[in-house]
Amino acid sequence: MNAYAQAQSAYAPAAPTRTARSAEYEVIARISHRLKLAIKEDDFPALAEALYENNKLWIALAVDVVDDNNLLPDELRARIIYLSEFTRLHTQKVLRRKESAIPLLEINAAILRGLKQEGSSK
């Protein structure tokens, strides 16, 4: 690498720093988009995949909030655990074609709004 290329790479703009909140937002948004698309296209196999990913997400969120090192307020932690359990049970009903996946989308949308609000105030 010549001196010009070294200088250029040394002073190139740094990659944007990604926060935990922005990573959570991105994952929830991606999964929500997949859910919404599968519902819109009435594609049950795609819906089942998106539900699986959504359920994994909510399990991960619940595991995270029960960690003693989690700094979220106890009330918010309890709500996340409740939503995780609701998501698990409702997902089973959707997979049995007894319920719509819309409530799961609405929960994710509410979480996205909360993440966006908290991220913009800091």
The residue extents of the domains of the chain are 18-120
C-alpha span between 122 and 116 (Å, rounded): 10
Tell me, what amino acid is at 34? Answer: R
C-alpha span between 55 and 112 (Å, rounded): 16
Say which residue, 96 or 69, is predicted with more confidence.
Answer: 96
Q: Where are the alpha helices (DSSP H) in the chain?
A: 3-10, 20-40, 44-66, 74-95, 102-120
Sign of CA dihedral 16, 110, 100, 51: positive
Tell me, what amino acid is at 41? Answer: E
Sign of CA dihedral 55, 60, 61, 62: positive
The pLDDT-based confidence of 122 (bands split at 50, 70, 90) is very low
Tell me, what amino acid is at 77? Answer: R
* Per-residue model confidence as pLDDT tens digits over 19-68: 777 889 999 999 999 999 999 999 999 999 999 999 999 999 999 999 99
CATH of domain 18-120: 1.20.120
Burial tier of 115 (Cβ tally within 10 Å: 0-12, 13-18, 19+): middle
- What are the angstrom distances between the C-alpha of 10 and each of 16, 20, 58? 16, 26, 41
pTM: 0.79
* 99, pLDDT greater than 70: yes
